[in-house]
Amino acid sequence: MKKLSIAMLSMVLAGSMLLTGCGGGNNQAAGENDSADTQQSETAENTDGGVLRMGTNATFPPYEYVDENNEVAGIDADIAAAIAEKLGMELEITDMAFDSLIPALQSDTIDIVLAGMTVDPERAEQVNFTDSYATGVQVIIVPEGSDIASPDDLEGKNIGVQTGTTGDLYCTDDYGQEFVKQFDNGPLAVAALVNGQVDCVVIDNEPAKNYVAANQGLKILDTAYANEEYAAAIAKDNTELFEQVNAAIQELKEDGTIDSIIEKYIPAEGDSEDAAA
Ligand code: GLN
């Protein structure tokens, strides 16, 4: 796997901005829009295929997060790098709000989303989803000692979610909008839980594990809220890229590349503890 060598502006979890120039290339200014920051790989040898502009929301470890070099790293960044390499393209990653990703595809600001994005019928009316490359689980984070023991106990509770995620959509459907408090990202929803502003947070399992590990006094309920599939999303009219990316994903699944990327960040039970996130 080619390591991304990057010059970029990037966003730390809380949304403040750090200016950094790393790697030997041109520093990419991210432009006037402070809600999206772009990093670019410089290393592809054969980039005749042009630039693959990926959008993500890098507050979702281990799928995407800002690493110690202020680069977007994680499972999705690695899978996208492997796809770009197969397509002979240079990967450019833009970090933006999760609920901006589908509009950014539709306005041709980006070519592809890899963001632990769940395949969902309503989204599938707006964008095309590739074959799934991973599974996800919506879980419930509560404070230790909470009276919420399963999804059956959520009625009438204040539920924290990340805006526009499936956790948001499902809880709004199931419990009503007035009980669902939206936050820009998972860490902010979890901070609200720690401060007692919400009773629980519904969010994807792998980032949930990271958030719970980073905060004392929280736990993930054993009973899952929903099981899901993650896939890459591409604009409806971009059928050529869609077919190329889907073929690349199939090859990367068949040759074990995707499994080994996921295993690198989420070691299976019993494996040694060298997770990268
Ligand atoms: N899997 C969830 C969704 O697609 C959350 C993704 C995310 O927050 N990056 O809505």
Strands 159-162 and 180-183: parallel
- Ligand 1: residue of 13, 57, 66, 98 to mutate (most ligand atoms within 8 A of CB) is 98
| Residues 67-76, mean pLDDT to the nearest whole number | 97
Task: Give the residue from 199, 197, 137 showing the smallest Cα distance to 166.
Answer: 137
Q: In the chain, what is the greatest distance between 2 CA atoms, to the nearest angstrom?
A: 57
Alpha-carbon distance values, 165 to 22, 79, 154, 224 (Å): 32, 21, 18, 16
Contact present, 95 and 72 (Cβ < 8 Å) = yes
What percent of the chain is modeled with pLDDT above 70? 82
pLDDT digits (tens, 9 = 90+) for 169-178: 999 999 999 9
pLDDT of 84 higher than 70: yes
How big is the chain, counted in residues? 277
Which pLDDT belongs to residue 23? 31
pLDDT in tens, 257-267: 999 999 999 98
For residue 271, what pLDDT is reported?
57
Nearest to 135 by CA among 25, 272, 259: 259
Ligand 1 centre distance from Cα of residue 201 (Å): 13
pLDDT reported for residue 45: 54
Domains and CATH numbers, the chain: 15-134+230-265 (3.40.190.10), 137-227 (3.40.190.10)
Residue 12 has pLDDT above 60, yes or no: no
pLDDT at 47: 54
- Contact indicator for 7, 40 with CB cutoff of 8 Å: yes
Query: What's the pLDDT tens digit per position in 110-136?
Result: 999 999 999 999 999 999 999 999 999
CA of residue 45 to ligand 1 center, whole Å: 32
CA dist., res. 166 & res. 35, Å (int): 21
Please check whether residue 71 is in contact with residue 39, taking contact to mean a CB–CB distance below 8 angstroms: yes
Residue 30 and residue 37 in contact, taking contact as beta carbons nearer than 8 Å: yes
> What's the pLDDT at 1?
34
Sign of the dihedral through C-alpha 14, 16, 17, 22: negative
Which tokens hold the place of 40? 């670019």
- Tokens read off for 241: 């890229």
Query: Is residue 225 within 6 Å of ligand 1 at its C-beta?
Result: no
Q: What pLDDT is recorded for position 268?
A: 83
pTM of the shown model: 0.83
Residue 23 Cα to ligand 1 middle (Å): 31
- Rounded Cα distance between 110 and 54, Å, is 6
For ligand 1, the distance from its centroid to the CA atom of residue 162, given in whole angstroms, is 8
Least confident of 41-50, 155-164, 183-192, 203-212: 41-50
- pLDDT band of residue 38 (cuts 50, 70, 90) is confident
Question: Per the structure block, which two tokens stand in for 96?
Answer: 């933006």
pLDDT reported for residue 181: 98
For the Cβ of 151 lying below 6 angstroms from any atom of ligand 1, the answer is no
The full DSSP string for 147-160 is S--SGGG-TTS-EE
Question: Could you check whether the bond before residue 151 is cis, i.e. omega within 30 degrees of 0?
Answer: no
DSSP state of 100: G
22: pLDDT confidence band, cut at 50, 70 and 90? very low
pLDDT in tens, 232-259: 999 999 999 999 999 999 999 999 999 9
Task: Tell me the three state secondary structure of residue 132.
Answer: coil
* Mean confidence (pLDDT) of the chain: 86
130 lines ligand 1 (CB under 6 A): no
